[in-house]
Structure 1
Amino acid sequence: MNRAPGSLVPYRSERTSPVTIRSASGPDLPFGPADTPWQKTFSGLRVVDGVPQVTAPSGDPRQLYMEIPEVPFSKVQIPPNGLDERQYAEAEGLFRRYVDSQTHNFAGYQVTSDLDYQDRLSHYLDRHLNNVGDPYQSSSYTLNSKALERAVLDYFASLWNAKWPHNADDPESYWGYVLTMGSSEGNLYGLWNARDYLSGKLLLRQDCAGEAPSVVYTQALRRKGQSPHAYEPVAFFSQDTHYSLTKAVRVLGIDTFHAIGSTRYPDQNPLGPGTPWPTEVPSVGGADGTGAIDVDKLAVLMRFFASKGYPILVSLNYGSTFKGAYDDVPTVARTVREICTEYGLDERRVYHGRDRDSDFDMRSGFWIHIDGALGAGYAPYLQMARDAGMVDDAPPVFDFRLPEVHSLTMSGHKWIGTPWACGVYMTRTGLQMTPSRSSEYIGAADTTFAGSRNGFSALLLWDYLCRHSYDAQVRLAAECDGLAGYAHDRLLALQEKLGIDLWVARSPQALTVRFRRPSDAIVRKYSLSCETIHVDGEARAYVHLYAMKHLTRELVDELVRDMRQSDAFPDSEGCGARRWAGIVPALAQEDTAACRSGLLRAPVTGTRSR
């Protein structure tokens, strides 16, 4: 029964005698698994002077939030008294079945869902592990996994050809840490480091009599003869870059070439004088291309700003989000070096003061960051597979073999596979911007982006790497590369049989295949990632699948079968019911014949063929 706000509502507490409370402002909506009016969900301990001391709902969350049919929101709403055992079992059961079902068909995102940590590591779910502070410093906060974190970081330093182990006194040795957020955090930290490095931020130690020494964060002063833009870094990244880069430059206040060009040089776009500046560096072939950055156009843009004295900050993709593309890191690194050398930005002095004899640091006038969220996790093994003759080709070099690479990041939940987001950030010790002071509270310098860091993530990465040798990972990388090729071939064959342009494409060595978006039901069943790409004035709705370690040929075949149905592409031209009625049976017969002849591998129960 609905009651007006402020009216009296009878209520029975579990622990006390019946009480009467006055309704808080807001509607008396059904709430929780029992559809109890919200005002009746409180115990007497949460009521003061007849009024609940919390806000009432201003609207019905069940109507406002996106619906998940398998998990009705009413079943998982949390009343002030919580859920009883029966309600909890029902709610958790619904959620568990939903997650298990979606996990079985999960094909559209670059994460690994084939996980097996539970038997070995469930003990630690009842332990608190917090890796607050620098990974290489001891801390009074002893409930941490830093010993395992350091082992994980050494592993990746070796894999990425950095100098290891970390040595605080060796500027060429690596420094890094295990991320809590994933590569979005690594990108944010890398660009933060780059901004401070290129903009001339300095950390100076001050010793005052009778006081503890302190470190002061200051700005280098521009010297006579230096460009007025000497400490104004300008950022470059491609149109296929992950959206976290756009967020990062906004949060950090880093100007992109588009922002500076549009405001200070509006008619001087070097790619087309008098035309608007592009918002990002174009990719090869434009929107319909492979997704790799156009190095020639990047060079033109960089030269424009380097000639005016701007420091250059380049972020490159190594396994881009939608197309899985690899930027040509060696060619970009060489191009950046050549242009910066031409304009005196390859190496420069950053002075601590205005005096002629002032101390100075030697720094490069450029920074290259690698967003290797996916690619940095498996490409080294794919390169090993190529060298062993197991695959024909592999992505280009991207790591610390290139002296121009300053930092890189990788997500642990993608190639390796973890229950939650995590990752690794790495740079060289000499490039690290040390924090302004150590934290006496935790007993260690907090050189990382976050304060508290998830110590369980380092444990998960350590566990995986301990149980997967180089040889095993090389085989896995080769198998996934082959599975991506299999999916590409199956979709091309479907496209030919249907006589419909499904826009099937796979970028070189990518683990993803993109194609025309099918019906919403298929998109949801397989969790296919969607993106609209404008090609020659046409807005094309694409999806993609990723050949991660959990994907099988059987699941690819099932997806292809689903896309033969008459309602699979409701927005496609020429897909009328009559046409489909003739196509579908013919395709089914051809698949059966192909399996019998060995052209297609028939599904085998209990196996995971790739």
Structure 2
Amino acid sequence: MTDTPTLAEVVDLGRGQIDVDAVLRQLVDRADTAAPTSIGFPGAVDLDHTEVMARLGRRLWNNIGDPATDPGGAAHTKALERAVIAWVAETLAMPADDRWGYVTTGGTEGNLAALHAAHRRHPRAVAYHSTAAHYSIPKILDILGVRRIPVHAHPDGELDYDHLAAQIRRRPTRAAIVVATAGTTMTEAVDDTDRIHAILAPHAPGGHLHVDAALSGVPLALDGRLRLDHTSGIDSIAISGHKFFGTPTPCGVVLIRAGIRTPGGHVTYTDTVDTTITGSRCGLAAALLWHAIATHGREGHRWRVSEARHLAGYAVDQLTAAGWPAWRHPHAFTVVLDTPPEQVRKKWLLATDGPMSHVICMPGVTKGQIDALVADIRAAAHPTPAASLPRPRLPVTPQAVR
């Protein structure tokens, strides 16, 4: 009896005849097997996108060019894309006369589009970003050739505003591009953009305030705690689509003030305006986002936020009762815990950074999964109460974005 071939063996396109069905089946089986213990990275699993995939998944939907200009032919979903942009912008209280955006491939492209616009606006600017910022931020600034200054973050992940102010004061003749984060990678901390705006406001050369809100943007907007109204001082924001909305393809939304967006030229042969980073864009992603919003609405998504936060609170309680240090920000789906023993991490997909790990109680994660994780930690170690983790500074309040 022969062993079942590995995936690496059966996908080799140089092997001759390939059992395509077996390859696809192995991919799905592998993902299905891992799903119950994959709770360390953000991706909601409670929304059913089957209808969209069944109806639209058999053809190319190309939303090439600016969302406002429809290309030739009918195989695009720009009407849905415009509706998604409007819904997200309205949820963020962004004025209708001062907004522009599009559906992206994810948070990184959204950050790139926004920071590209900021760089064109202030070509000599210096960029400031937290040491807790997503890894895409320094990468993007390096690609754009923007000088960047890392700013300290507190142990709980929030930006050190005194250090930011001091760094900006050191460069009084250079405009400042500041990247805030609404939901840092490891702790889901939220930077206070009111405080950042107050630092930027008197800076004579001006500046640009961008918010990387990949994970927490929509939940905080539904709370009313993240707003892009005229008083917010926020110039752009990037949000992920496949995290909170759980779409089966990476995607996102970027919103930029209309007056500072990157201008684009008309492309004759596509009859569109080239204002986006990628040109050709996935129309299926826009349809998936539209479907998720249309079938649940704001109240349905508020309920999803509430349930996920309740589960995160339950996870902290259960871990703490087991003697394993854990905490969370009050608004967060993310539960930070001491890194579990190796045998636990081999079974459970947890995000780990040295002594710190986290689980993310995204919509669709269950109490049963949390209970099973806690039971495995109990079995693998002899936890005792400890204070080894960085914890939120007191008093603990929801980190308001404004």
- TM-score w.r.t. the length of structure 2 is 0.90
> Could you tell me which residue of structure 2 aligns to residue 60 of structure 1?
none
Following superposition, the deviation at residue 507 of structure 1 comes to 2.8
Are residues 1:81 and 2:16 paired? yes
State the one-letter code of the partner of 2:352: C
Counterpart Cα distance in 2 of 1:73 and 1:410: 34
Counterpart Cα distance in 1 of 2:283 and 2:169: 44
> Could you tell me which residue of structure 1 aligns to residue 236 of structure 2?
407
> Could you tell me which residue of structure 1 aligns to residue 263 of structure 2?
434
Counterpart Cα distance in 1 of 2:5 and 2:34: 11
Following superposition, the deviation at residue 398 of structure 1 comes to 4.6
Are residues 1:283 and 2:153 paired? yes
Assess, with a 3 A threshold, how the Cα gap between structure 1 residues 120 and 445 changes in structure 2: closer, same or farther. closer
Following superposition, the deviation at residue 402 of structure 1 comes to 3.5
Counterpart Cα distance in 1 of 2:215 and 2:255: 15
Are residues 1:301 and 2:199 paired? no
> Could you tell me which residue of structure 2 aligns to residue 382 of structure 1?
223
Unaligned runs of 5+ in 2: 386-402
Residue number among 92, 98, 103 corresponding to 1:160 in the alignment: 92
Residue number among 303, 310, 317 corresponding to 1:475 in the alignment: 303
Unaligned runs of 5+ in 1: 1-33, 36-68, 165-171, 200-231, 258-279, 346-364, 384-395, 496-501, 533-540, 575-610
Counterpart Cα distance in 2 of 1:488 and 1:177: 37
Mapped contact 1:504–1:513 kept (Cα < 8 A): yes
Counterpart Cα distance in 1 of 2:306 and 2:133: 26
Residue number among 183, 187, 198 corresponding to 1:334 in the alignment: 198
Assess, with a 3 A threshold, how the Cα gap between structure 1 residues 402 and 77 changes in structure 2: closer, same or farther. farther
Q: CA RMSD in A?
A: 2.2
Q: Which has the higher contact order (CA 8 A, sep 6+)?
A: 2
Counterpart Cα distance in 2 of 1:70 and 1:563: 33
Following superposition, the deviation at residue 70 of structure 1 comes to 9.7
Residue number among 184, 197, 219 corresponding to 2:121 in the alignment: 197
Residue number among 353, 360, 371 corresponding to 1:557 in the alignment: 371
Residue number among 270, 273, 284 corresponding to 1:445 in the alignment: 273
Following superposition, the deviation at residue 88 of structure 1 comes to 2.9
CA deviation digits over 1:37-56, x for unaligned, max 9?
Answer: xxxxxxxxxxxxxxxxxxxx
Mapped contact 2:65–2:279 kept (Cα < 8 A): yes
Q: How does 1:103-114 map to 2 (within 5 A)?
A: 103-114=35-46
> Could you tell me which residue of structure 2 aligns to residue 55 of structure 1?
none
SS of residue matched to 2:35 = helix
CA deviation digits over 1:423-442, x for unaligned, max 9?
Answer: 0000111111202x311121
> For structure 1, which segment, 134-143 or 72-81, has the greater mean C-alpha deviation from structure 2 after superposition?
72-81
State the one-letter code of the partner of 1:439: V
Residue number among 75, 79, 88 corresponding to 1:147 in the alignment: 79
State the one-letter code of the partner of 2:345: V
State the one-letter code of the partner of 2:251: C
> Could you tell me which residue of structure 1 aligns to residue 147 of structure 2?
255
Following superposition, the deviation at residue 102 of structure 1 comes to 1.6
SS of residue matched to 1:556 = helix
Following superposition, the deviation at residue 120 of structure 1 comes to 4.3
Q: How does 1:4-403 map to 2 (within 5 A)?
A: 71-79=6-14, 81-83=16-18, 87-164=19-96, 172-180=97-105, 182-199=106-123, 232-257=124-149, 280-284=150-154, 289-305=155-171, 307=172, 309-338=173-202, 340=203, 344-345=204-205, 365-383=206-224, 396-403=225-232
Mapped contact 1:148–1:462 kept (Cα < 8 A): yes
SS of residue matched to 1:513 = strand
> Could you tell me which residue of structure 2 aligns to residue 544 of structure 1?
358
Following superposition, the deviation at residue 291 of structure 1 comes to 0.6
CA deviation digits over 1:113-152, x for unaligned, max 9?
Answer: 3341113431211111000100001222531100110111
Assess, with a 3 A threshold, how the Cα gap between structure 1 residues 545 and 140 changes in structure 2: closer, same or farther. same
Q: How many residues align?
A: 384
State the one-letter code of the partner of 2:333: L
Counterpart Cα distance in 1 of 2:178 and 2:143: 17
SS of residue matched to 2:357 = strand
Following superposition, the deviation at residue 104 of structure 1 comes to 2.5
Following superposition, the deviation at residue 525 of structure 1 comes to 2.8
Are residues 1:515 and 2:337 paired? yes
Counterpart Cα distance in 2 of 1:452 and 1:482: 40
CA deviation digits over 1:71-90, x for unaligned, max 9?
Answer: 5421332235341xxx3333
SS of residue matched to 2:158 = coil
Mapped contact 1:110–1:415 kept (Cα < 8 A): yes
Counterpart Cα distance in 1 of 2:282 and 2:293: 18
Following superposition, the deviation at residue 157 of structure 1 comes to 1.3
Mapped contact 2:94–2:227 kept (Cα < 8 A): no
Mapped contact 2:107–2:253 kept (Cα < 8 A): yes
Mapped contact 2:240–2:251 kept (Cα < 8 A): yes
Q: Which has the larger radius of gyration?
A: 1
Assess, with a 3 A threshold, how the Cα gap between structure 1 residues 81 and 184 changes in structure 2: closer, same or farther. same
> Could you tell me which residue of structure 2 aligns to residue 46 of structure 1?
none
Assess, with a 3 A threshold, how the Cα gap between structure 1 residues 190 and 162 changes in structure 2: closer, same or farther. same
Counterpart Cα distance in 2 of 1:324 and 1:196: 30
Mapped contact 1:333–1:402 kept (Cα < 8 A): no
Q: Give % identity.
A: 29
Are residues 1:458 and 2:313 paired? no
Following superposition, the deviation at residue 480 of structure 1 comes to 1.1
